[in-house]
Amino acid sequence: MNDTGNFVLVAENSETVWESFSNPKDTLLPTQIIGIGGQLCSRNSPKDFSLGQFQFRMLSDGSAVLNTVNLPTREAYDTYYITGTRDSQNKSNSGHQVVYDKSGYLYLLKKSGDVFYISSPKDVVAFPASEYYHKATLNFDGVLTLSCHLKSSSSANATWNQIKAIPNDICVAVHGDLGTGPCGHNSICTLNEDQRPSCKCPIGYSILDPTDEYSGCKPEFLPSCNGASSGDHFELRPLPNTDWPTSDYELFKPYSVEDCKKSCLQDCLSAVVVYNSEEDSCWKKKLPLSNGREVRTLSTTVFFKFSNDSRSGNKPDLPGSNKEEEDHTLVIVISVLLGSSVFVNFLLVSVMCLAFFFYSKRKYFVYPNESHVKSNLRHFTYKELVEATNGFREESGRGSCGVVYKGETDQSSPIAVKILDRMFQDNDKEFQAEVNVIGQTHHKNLVRLTGYCDEQQHRLLVYEFMRNGSLASFLFGGLRPSWYQRVQIAFGIARGLVYLHEECTTQIIHCDIKPQNVLLDDYYNARISDFGLAKLLALNQSHTKTNIRGTKGYVAPDWFRSAPVSVKVDVYSFGVLLLEIICCRRNVLDMNDNEEEKVILTDWAYDCYVDGRLEKLVENDMEVMSDIKMVERFVMVAIWCLQEDPSVRPTMKKVMLMLEGIVQVSAPPTHCLSTSVIN
């Protein structure tokens, strides 16, 4: 490893066999050069190091460009930045190399020796290389950034400071007809002060991947083209200063704004219309919407379609609309009653008014500071949590019955706030169960509940924040975690479940053990989260009856029988999760891209065990291959957990002891393995 940061493999004769500077990924260091055909490739997301959709390339015509790509085939799409150093008249004046020199200047060197600066020298002159480290990185969001880091800084919180961002506005720069910008389809890109983008979903849409705000948005409704007018089921809302420059498929001109809106409502393919009052033009756009952005100088009006079906749960509050409908209904009823006796009418109308009043006001009879929960945990007001989360701006995930947002308390401690937004019939009971019971649990492998809000109609839970995200992102990202880390995570999950099943005052069945519900703390310790689906048992109970709960692929067959379920449903789910930890792959894969025998991991692992070819489960993972005995022990434990008969499955206490090697693992049955229902 040279002082420049170049990692070099050298043969015995001192000849360079391979060097990292000639094989860049997403970052350049001073003295590094990109020649013709060389490129930087962004990562896919903040935590996914697989290849992303952005490239910085040195073309053979002499120009350096930033462009998007097709992820499956890596085909280059339109450029959104170009140096323009191609000279067809005088090829000696065309670009030749991209150079990141030792002073931190990024420029394109022409064949003639002339220099075209990609970053101006004045950008970095205030950060001399004698005092600062420098780097240039093509980020996952498509922004090429030049950054510096003070060499003399001894602070643990010292960070890289951005010097320059290319392009100046990534939200506006990426506007090609193919692909999408940094925010994914149907999303809206907003430029932050640091010239980096943030993304949000419009009304009626939700984020595709709750752990990645840049993954795009999915519609909460599915427009139907069955011949009926979609205007009966959809409404339009204006979005100020917003545009999707592509996705046009029809233009009406001249056209009024009302005709434009009506045309969108009556066309099930139309998701958005853009009306230009100066030209009396109406542009109709279809899904998916690409490269959405907010631009304050826009003079057009955008109307966005969303479902108004109350059964869908996607209709936003429209001030006065419900009241008008109710008032209209009340007038009709009173008119009918006027034909009856005055005294009877008076009684009936009085009763109806009282009933209407109590019905419309029922949820506000809880005083603001009155709580249904008796707990020693901190009671937050709703206003405090709104301020702590900056208006619930940064979504960090989705739990069993609500969305989770990142926030910060007055002590500057990060928190995770879950809003219970799915109104189950027994919602209040579940809320009180989480606060009263889960609030009393204290274990190093459980996410700790620190507070709650029980104010009027608001139900929120406050947890400690886990900086390293979910186990799903950790296992299934671009880089495979070390075998040691995976083993420790498996131990941690097992210990957490033992605590829930056997060591709590009130026994708890989690009911939804899966990688998304295991979080990782600062030291990558496993912390079981999301007890919203937990079924609580009294001390004298061993079974309980409830509706099917959990996630397909992890659900034990016990749920589909008339017999009561027990803690053994968690043992089954842990067996599936243990195989995923061993193999670093999801339980169910797409059959189109994989051999049929490998589609369902539990089946494939069982076949590999029976056939004596466990190395197939961990091929290309040399670290795991060197510890194949432990792999065999873990697979045997998983097969025990996956037995169809719950009475045959071991307890989590025994599972933990078998994993740790304290209890010997006997050969599991070879005929009673059950595969969780996945359809």
Which of 26, 141, 454, 512 is an active site residue?
A: 512
Query: Taking residues 60-74, what's their average pLDDT?
Result: 85
Q: How far is CA 109 from the centre of its chain?
A: 41
Q: 395 phi and psi, to 5 degrees?
A: -80, 130
Q: How confident is the model over 322-341, as pLDDT tens digits?
A: 444 444 444 444 444 444 45
44-53, 244-253, 307-316, 524-533: the lowest-pLDDT one: 307-316
Q: Do 118 and 163 lie in a common domain?
A: yes
The pair of structure tokens assigned to 84 is 């323009």
Domain C-terminal end among 440, 464, 488: 464
Q: Do 204 and 259 lie in a common domain?
A: yes
Q: How confident is the model over 71-111, as pLDDT tens digits?
A: 767 778 889 999 988 877 777 788 889 999 998 999 999 88
Q: Do 502 and 451 lie in a common domain?
A: no
pLDDT band at 358 (very low <50, low <70, confident <90, very high): low
The proportion of the chain whose per-residue pLDDT surpasses 70, expressed as a percent, equals 77
Is residue 640 in some structural domain? yes
Q: Do 485 and 630 lie in a common domain?
A: yes
Q: Do 421 and 481 lie in a common domain?
A: no
pLDDT of residue 65: 94
Strands 32-34 and 95-100: antiparallel
Q: How confident is the model over 651-674, as pLDDT tens digits?
A: 999 999 999 999 999 999 866 665
Q: Do 131 and 84 lie in a common domain?
A: yes
Q: Do 644 and 586 lie in a common domain?
A: yes
Q: Do 145 and 65 lie in a common domain?
A: yes
Contact yes or no for 95/62 (Cβ under 8 A): yes
The pair of structure tokens assigned to 65 is 């460009």
Is residue 331 in some structural domain? no
Structural domain tally of the chain? 4
Q: 580 phi and psi, to 5 degrees?
A: -65, -40
Contact yes or no for 101/30 (Cβ under 8 A): yes
Q: Do 630 and 493 lie in a common domain?
A: yes
Residue 51 maps to which CATH number? Answer: 2.90.10.10
CA separation for the pair 47, 54 (Å, rounded): 16
Residue 442 maps to which CATH number? Answer: 3.30.200.20
CA separation for the pair 273, 247 (Å, rounded): 11
pLDDT of residue 266: 81
Q: 191 phi and psi, to 5 degrees?
A: -80, 130
Q: Do 460 and 581 lie in a common domain?
A: no
Is residue 43 in some structural domain? yes
Domain C-terminal end among 464, 484, 501: 464
The pair of structure tokens assigned to 108 is 């394109």
Q: Which domain holds residue 582?
A: 471-659
pLDDT of residue 675: 52
Is residue 2 in some structural domain? no
User: What per-residue string of b and e applies to 152-189 under the rule 16 or more CB within 10 Å gives b?
Assistant: eeeeeeeeeeebbbbbeebbbbbbbeebbbbbbbbbbb
Domain C-terminal end among 413, 438, 464: 464
Q: Do 496 and 622 lie in a common domain?
A: yes
Strand runs (DSSP E) across 124-261, as ranges? 132-138, 144-150, 161-166, 188-191, 197-200, 205-209, 212-219, 234-239, 242-243, 248-252
pLDDT of residue 379: 87
Contact yes or no for 508/531 (Cβ under 8 A): yes
Q: Is 512 marked active-site?
A: yes
Is residue 355 in some structural domain? no
pLDDT of residue 562: 65
Is residue 322 in some structural domain? no
pLDDT of residue 367: 38
pLDDT of residue 125: 82
pLDDT band at 283 (very low <50, low <70, confident <90, very high): confident
CA separation for the pair 68, 291 (Å, rounded): 12
Is residue 326 in some structural domain? no
Contact yes or no for 492/486 (Cβ under 8 A): no
Q: Do 416 and 273 lie in a common domain?
A: no
DSSP one-letter code for 634:
H
Is residue 356 in some structural domain? no
